[in-house]
Structure formats: C-alpha cells, structure tokens
Structure 1
Amino acid sequence: MSQVNALTNYHVVIGLGKTGDSAVRHLLAQGENVIAMDTREEAPFASELRATYPDLQLIEGGLDASVLINAARIIASPGIPLATDEIQRAIDAGVPVVSDIQVFAEAANAPIIAITGSNAKSTVTTLVGEMAKQCGLKAAVGGNLGTPALELLNSDIDVYVMELSSFQLEATEHLNAKVATVLNISPDHLDRYDSYEGYYQTKYKIFNGCEKAVINLDDNLAQPKTLNCPEQIGFSIDGKGADFVLDRTAQPWQLIVEGDALLSVDQLKIKGLHNYSNALAALALGHGFGLDMDGMLKALKSFPGLDHRCQWIKQVDEVDFYNDSKGTNVGATEAALKGLGPEYAKRIVLMLGGVGKDADFKVLRPVIDQYVSKVIVYGQDQDIIAKDLSGVDLDRAESFEQAFEMAYRNADHKGAVVFSPACASFDMFSGFEARGEAFKSMVEAL
C-alpha cells in the first residue's frame, strides 16, 4: 500500500470488466495516474492490464476505502452500486464519483445521440446508427451495447450513437447530448434502487444538458415533469398529437411525420406495434440530429431487427417467421405477442419451451387467447407449460425439430410462426443464440 500512498492526484477505476478496462486504458493514455480496483479476487481484465502496464497499481478482492477517499476522482463501472459503503465514504469526503460515460462525454469531439429505456434501446440504437451511416456520416455505436464508450473515441467520427443503461446514468451528471430519449419505463432493477421512482429519475439524467429531447407520448413515465431542453419532439403509436405518429386508420398503417405519410408498415421488415414505436423513435432522433429523411427511410426499410429479438426471418407460403429466442421469460413473450398480435388477427402459432425457471405461464393466457391460434410446446418443462395453459389449443412435441414442423404445419395463410419460448435454453442448447440460430436454419431450409 506504500506505493499507492506515494501517488498524488490519482484516479481510481472500480470494476475491471470491459468498461473498467477501457477506462484504465483511456486514463493512462491521457497521462493520468491510475489505480485499478475490483471486489473480485481475479478480475476479468486484470492479467491483461498487468501485462500491458507492469507499473499499474491494481487492488483485487475488495475496495480499499483509504485509497478511495484520497483519490482525485473515482470512475465506477456500471455494475458497482454507488451505495457501496466504501464509495459512500469517498463521496462524503468530497471525492467526485463519475461513470465512464461522463468521462466519455467530456472527451467526445463529436455530437452524441443518447438512448435509454427499459426495453428496445439496443434496437433503436442500432437502427439510428444504420440511419446515420446511410446518410453518409461516420457513426460510432456503442456504450451499453457492444463497444464500451471510451473505446469509441476517435477524431474521425461525425456522431456517437449511444445506448445507456440506468446504471451508467447514475454517475453521469452532464451528458450534453445533441438529442436524447427515454424510450419507455417499466419496473426493472428494483434490487438496485430504493424505489421505482429512483429508477426512472435515474433514466431522466440522460436529458441533462441536451439540445433536443425525443419524448414517447404513449408512456407517461417516459415524460419527465420538468425538462429543460430547448426543443422537444414527440412520437406516438396511439394517434396522439405527436410530430411522429402511426396512423392506424389507414390500410396498411402509415408512419406519419409532421402530418405527411412517409411509409406504410408493409414496407418494413420489422413488424409489430413495439417495432413501429421503435421506428418512430429512431426517425425522431435522426430528425432531431438533422439526418436526411430519405436516407433514414432507406435504412429503416432494410433493417431486419436485432438477432433473436422478435426478428423477422422471412416469409414462406405467405407465413411470416419470427425468431424471438431472447424471449427467455414470460414477460418478454407477452411483449412479443402484444407487439405482433394486432398484425395477424388470431393467426399466430406460438412455440414455447425449454427451462421454465419456475415461471407462471398462466400470465400468458390473456394474450394467447387474443392473438394465438395454436401453441406448440417442447422441452424440459413442457408439462408445466401445458398445465398452466390448460384449455388452450396446444400440442406437444418430442423434439425441437418436431416442434418447428408442427408449428409450420399449423400456420394459417397470412399468419405467423412466432418462436418466443418464454424459457431458458439450457435443456437443449448452449444459450439463446444457439437456439435462435437453430430456428433460423430450419426457416431458411423451407
């Protein structure tokens, strides 16, 4: 510890996952004195950092309060709760505690489009990035999605498109984004926050210092009561008075921008009300930034969605196939059916199965009754699912392959097969990705 005490004006990076690793490397490149710290006995990136920076002072197996309270600044990784005793002692001693996102915002030399929300932030972030690239800009996309923010810093970037989690926003006071949005709010991470209000107030920090705020007019909680952005842009799939709106009185439904019909939903590869909301949010964000509308629409029409997340695969014999393998719980499957259901008017065949994790599948009964013509169950917990869904038109399969064949055979003309299993995959697959790839391969083979 004497070596640590010999340092002056040092920064402490807490947490040595991908985010912490990027923070250490960035700060050292800036010539800062750095001490790295992790509660784990063997931090994920510790050995790589030691090999690259032999003189780096690194503390593992706990947080050293004496080091923290004497730091010039602490950079806390998202997985580290700020309520941790040692961090609170440093805060009480007047030590600034910030996120890697705050450090990134201070160093970024291009404007930021910032996106958060309980759901769909990865989809919207990716889509906005594609829109920016289609419009000829050099866009860097990351943050909570993919590449850590500090690894994106580059002098040859026109726009940063950032997905941000509530954990990242906790210690981000001045993001100063060009355009920012909270896509939606639903209960989440309540083990981290003292209250539901604490969770969504943290989300609202994305608007701090922003020039333009994109607001979901369909979600009251996504609308801060006080907002000091100079300009606000609204979007709605419920026909509310927004700049960007879904017109469900037209056939097919139309995406309307400032009163003008720009695109019908049958021109999109992504389907479902949730994805039409995502499309409107992305268009609003791009418009707020100043992207060309024609370029944005071209990117939107070609966007297939993210892998394994209610992803449209293709249409066979006028049946659409959707891979929602990431739907590993009943809430995700319920959301998928609510989003896709209005498109198909009781013409959905739903594939469910896997490891149920003691879930209550009865929760799915209302959306199944409303939108699903047939349920096919497979895997370890199919008996539990079948019991919870007693009375539903349901068949059991002995294998994943048979479940797919039964779903295809039962699909209605102009209907859909939706693979949203509401279960974990580990009875048959290494993870949801492998499970989704298996489904996609069978669709492609038709």
Structure 2
Amino acid sequence: MANATRKKIVVIGLGMTGLSVIQHFVRKGSDTDIKVIDTRVTPQRVELLPPNVSLHTGGWNMDWLLTADQIVTTPGVALSTPELKQATVKGIEIVGDIELFARDVSTPVIGITGSNGKSTVTNLVGDMAKVAGINVGIGGNIGFAALDMLANDHALYILELSSFQLETTSSLNLTAAVFLNLSEDHMDRYTGINDYRNAKRRIFDRAKLAVWNQDDLQSKALNHSNMISFGFTNGDYTVTLLDGKEWLTAKGIPIMPVSDIALVGRHNVANCLAAMVLADAVGIDRQVQCTAMRQSRGLPHRCQQVLEHNGVMWINDSKATNPASTLAALDGLQFAGRLHLLLGGDGKGADFSVLKPVLERLDITLYCYGRDGHKFTELSAHTRVVDTMQQAMDLAAQNVTFGDIVLLSPACASLDQFTSFMERGDTFSAYASEIAARMNEGRVSV
C-alpha cells in the first residue's frame, strides 16, 4: 500500500544531467519511484543507474509519462516535443535540473546567460571567487551539473544557464543575473529571435539584481526594479580613456588598465566588465577581482592557442557554435599574414551572411566542411569545401606561410561529426600537432 503513495518521477535522458537528477533524489532519500526514458537504443552510462530505477530505451513510454507526478527533462529535449505536450495538457509538472537545484539551494547563486561569452564570464567570476578564498561551485551548462554541486555545500554557486535550461526553471532566486548579449542561435528550436530572447530573459524573473549590456538593448530586463548595466561607452561599468590609456571603470572609478587583462580579444573587455558587476554583487574584493583578471587566461576551446609551428599559429575556438561567436573571435584577432578559417558543422538554421562584411576586410581563405559547410561558399571568393575538419586542416597546412593563423571558429554546432564542441576542439588540437610532426619529417610542404 505504501508504494501507491510514492511520488512517480520520470527522468528524460541518461546523460550527465539525467544522472545528476537521479543521484539528487537518491541523496534526498525521498519516497520516489524513479523511471528513466532515453530515446536512444543503446544509451551510455546504463551501468551507473541504481538497481531500483527502471529504464526504457529506444523511444517514448507514454504510459510512464502520462501517469507521472513529475517529469524532469534535460535541456536537449524541447518542451514543444509532442510527447511532452501531451503531459502538459494533462497538467503534469515538467521541470529541469536547475529548477530542482533552485528548490534546494540555500546559499547565494549567480546566474549568467547570453548567446556568447557566458562560459568565459562564468569561469572568470569563478576565478575571482577562488582567489578570494570562497568555497565556490562553478557549473550548470558547463563543467559540473548543478545538482551534483549541491552535495558539496558551497558558499557560492556560479551557474552558466542556457536558454534551454531557463525554459524549465521558475524558482531560481539569483543574487545577481546577467544577460550578456543576444544573437541568432538555436533557430532550429525557436520560432524566431524573439522567442529565443524571451527564454533568455527568464533569468531575471526572480533575480535581486538584473545586469544587462548597454551595447545590446535586447539584453535589458523588462520592468525590473533593480538594474545595473555595463558597456564599452555607456553603463555603470564601462571603459574610460585616461592619459591615453583605456581603463575598466566602475561607477566612475578607474579600476584597472584594459591592457592588464590576460584574456585575448576585444569581446573579453566586455566580459570583464560583466564579471566585475557580478563579483561586486556578492562582495568580492576589488583587488581580488583585478588579480583574477590579470591571471585568468580563459577556457579551453575559446580562442585557445594550441600550437605555434614554423611561425604559424593554430587557434582552437571550437566553442564558437554560432556566427556571433565567430565574429567575436575575428574582432580580437591580430596577425601579420593570412587567416585560414575553418567553418562548418551543424548550422542550426543560422544566417551566416552576417559574417560577410567582416570576412571581406580580411586577407583570408575559408575551409568549409561538415553538413552545412556549403552554406559558407558565398561569403568569400577564396573558399574551399571539403567533407571533414581534418581534410580542411590538411588543406590549410599545405597553404600556410610564416605569420599566418589557422583558426577553428566554426560558427556551427559540432554534432554532425563530433559528440561535442569539446571533442571537436580536442581533435583539432591533436591533429594540429600531428600535422606539425609531419611537417618536421618533410611530409607536408609549407
């Protein structure tokens, strides 16, 4: 009879997020009946499931879904999926892992979203907290799953939050929330840019402080009582010219020369301004912030120099999964020779024409690959189309000379040929080293 009163939980997906949800309920020791649905025929990590958790694979189990008390879905599954819409019609609660996190967390949380830069800002604020000696948990859409971090009783949580995660979150009381910027992305999932923007803006719903970008009005919160802004020329946190040098400035007070920032690229100046606002919101000392900005060199796969060989620099920007992110990489790039740019993958319905004005001003060759590689051919007169990233790298290696840069900044998702942008970036880095070894042996002419 006791089993009849147990709460029926159905978890969608057996990836990192799904497993963190299961372990969360196990740790709570709650009286729940947990079932997992994974539409893949042979999902990974099955061996990690507790023995009392049932698993259905290879499709949907509508009986489980429609008799559930709560469905916990993963970011990769849209709420518009027909099976989930049937559950919504029945009034079944559908949440994500961030909503479960929000219901249990008791210490301050910072939330960071935006089309581009959110991983960098998340990591930078995390570095500031670490330098300050704070027991900080950094994760969400990157690194650790939010629910896994709850087990460690951190004094502060810093979460990167995607639009997908925010769609299923309604209880997150953030100490500070930032919406960094908006550009076209995930148009294969949203009905348009406004739909995408509105999902992002959910980060402000219960935030004590709403932080927005003066250079991108789409990032502004609507009708929020406590807002603060950053921007290159306007904002509470901005860049000011003093004695011929640019300075990061907070509410009119010069903080640090821009030239001291360790991160590469103009876009990272804006990221530092946003990070300062968030750090101030949780009381991190200003000098500690400056120390972190002078030391932090960013994340792997984001404008990361992985090799310099024979005067040619190879840069891994695999994190650039949309055109705006590629534009940001190009904006911060300095090189004496020619740029060999690798583009392609799963374009997610994006408009790549926004790249053309910038590409036309550069001494550049495009190497286009993957499912949507052909969509880049009209952006430059100097374009080569191949099937794979490795083929693109081989072609670039045959054409580079001293002072050139080979840049992987694909403007696309990776899932047509790789399991993630991380695997794509790791493959790029490893293959660049292999190419360099071949060059040393005289098997590639330069």
Query: Under TM normalisation by the shorter chain, which class is it?
Result: 0.7 to 0.9
> In structure 2, what residue type is equivalent to 1:245?
T
Q: Which residue of 1 aligns with 2:131?
A: 134
What whole-Å deviation, never above 9, does each CA across 1:98-150 have from its counterpart, x for those lacking one? 11101011111321111111111111111111111011101111111021111
Moved more, 58-67 or 417-426: 417-426
Q: Which residue of 2 aligns with 1:48?
A: 47
- Aligned CA distance change for structure 1 residues 75 and 43 (closer, same or farther; 3 Å): farther
1:156 aligns with 2:153: yes
1:272 aligns with 2:265: yes
> In structure 2, what residue type is equivalent to 1:37?
V
Q: In the alignment, is the contact (CA less than 8 A) between 1:313 and 1:321 conserved in 2?
A: yes
Q: How far, CA to CA, are the matches of 1:134 and 1:66 in structure 2?
A: 51
Q: Which residue of 2 aligns with 1:200?
A: 197
Q: How far, CA to CA, are the matches of 1:259 and 1:280 in structure 2?
A: 13
Q: Which residue of 2 aligns with 1:22?
A: 20
Q: How far, CA to CA, are the matches of 2:411 and 2:396 in structure 1?
A: 15
Q: TM-score scaled by structure 2? A: 0.80
Q: Which residue of 2 aligns with 1:187?
A: 184
- Aligned CA distance change for structure 1 residues 91 and 364 (closer, same or farther; 3 Å): closer
- Any idea what SS the aligned residue of 1:172 has? coil
Q: How far, CA to CA, are the matches of 1:55 and 1:357 in structure 2?
A: 38
Q: How far, CA to CA, are the matches of 1:290 and 1:441 in structure 2?
A: 47
> In structure 2, what residue type is equivalent to 1:8?
R
What whole-Å deviation, never above 9, does each CA across 1:148-169 have from its counterpart, x for those lacking one? 1111113531111101111111
- Aligned CA distance change for structure 1 residues 257 and 437 (closer, same or farther; 3 Å): farther
Q: Of residues 308, 327, 352 in structure 1, which corresponds to 2:341?
A: 352
- Aligned CA distance change for structure 1 residues 360 and 259 (closer, same or farther; 3 Å): closer
- Aligned CA distance change for structure 1 residues 270 and 20 (closer, same or farther; 3 Å): same
Q: In the alignment, is the contact (CA less than 8 A) between 1:179 and 1:212 conserved in 2?
A: yes
1:71 aligns with 2:63: no
Q: Which residue of 2 aligns with 1:38?
A: 37
- Aligned CA distance change for structure 1 residues 158 and 319 (closer, same or farther; 3 Å): farther
Deviation at 1:87, TM superposition (A): 2.3
Runs of at least 5 residues in structure 2 that lack an aligned partner in the other structure: 384-390, 441-446
Please give the residue correspondences for 1:376-387 in structure 2 after superposition, counting only pairs within 5 Å. none
- Any idea what SS the aligned residue of 1:136 has? coil
Deviation at 1:256, TM superposition (A): 1.2
What whole-Å deviation, never above 9, does each CA across 1:318-353 have from its counterpart, x for those lacking one? 99975435447765433321x215xx5x85641224
Deviation at 1:185, TM superposition (A): 1.1
Deviation at 1:292, TM superposition (A): 0.8
Runs of at least 5 residues in structure 1 that lack an aligned partner in the other structure: 393-397, 412-416
Q: Of residues 287, 296, 303 in structure 1, which corresponds to 2:289?
A: 296
1:234 aligns with 2:229: yes
- Aligned CA distance change for structure 1 residues 380 and 404 (closer, same or farther; 3 Å): same
Deviation at 1:418, TM superposition (A): 6.2
Q: How far, CA to CA, are the matches of 2:145 and 2:346 in structure 1?
A: 31
1:125 aligns with 2:117: no
What whole-Å deviation, never above 9, does each CA across 1:62-112 have from its counterpart, x for those lacking one? 333343333332211112221233322332333221111010111113211
Deviation at 1:421, TM superposition (A): 5.1
Q: Which residue of 2 aligns with 1:310?
A: 303
Query: Size of the alignment, in residue pairs?
Result: 420
Deviation at 1:201, TM superposition (A): 1.1
Q: Which residue of 2 aligns with 1:375?
A: 364
1:419 aligns with 2:404: no
What whole-Å deviation, never above 9, does each CA across 1:185-231 have from its counterpart, x for those lacking one? 11222222233222211111111221111111111111122224xx3
1:111 aligns with 2:99: no
Q: How far, CA to CA, are the matches of 1:149 and 1:63 in structure 2?
A: 26
Q: TM-score scaled by structure 1? A: 0.80
Deviation at 1:365, TM superposition (A): 4.4
How big is the alpha-carbon RMSD for the aligned residues of Structure 1 and Structure 2? 3.9
- Aligned CA distance change for structure 1 residues 104 and 378 (closer, same or farther; 3 Å): closer
- Any idea what SS the aligned residue of 1:204 has? helix
Q: In the alignment, is the contact (CA less than 8 A) between 2:231 and 2:273 conserved in 1?
A: yes
Q: Of residues 160, 169, 173 in structure 2, which corresponds to 1:172?
A: 169
Q: Of residues 389, 393, 396 in structure 1, which corresponds to 2:380?
A: 389
Q: Which residue of 2 aligns with 1:395?
A: none
- Any idea what SS the aligned residue of 1:431 has? helix
Q: How far, CA to CA, are the matches of 2:116 and 2:377 in structure 1?
A: 28
Deviation at 1:406, TM superposition (A): 6.6
- Aligned CA distance change for structure 1 residues 289 and 70 (closer, same or farther; 3 Å): same
Q: How far, CA to CA, are the matches of 1:385 and 1:87 in structure 2?
A: 36
Deviation at 1:47, TM superposition (A): 2.1
Q: Which residue of 2 aligns with 1:81?
A: 78
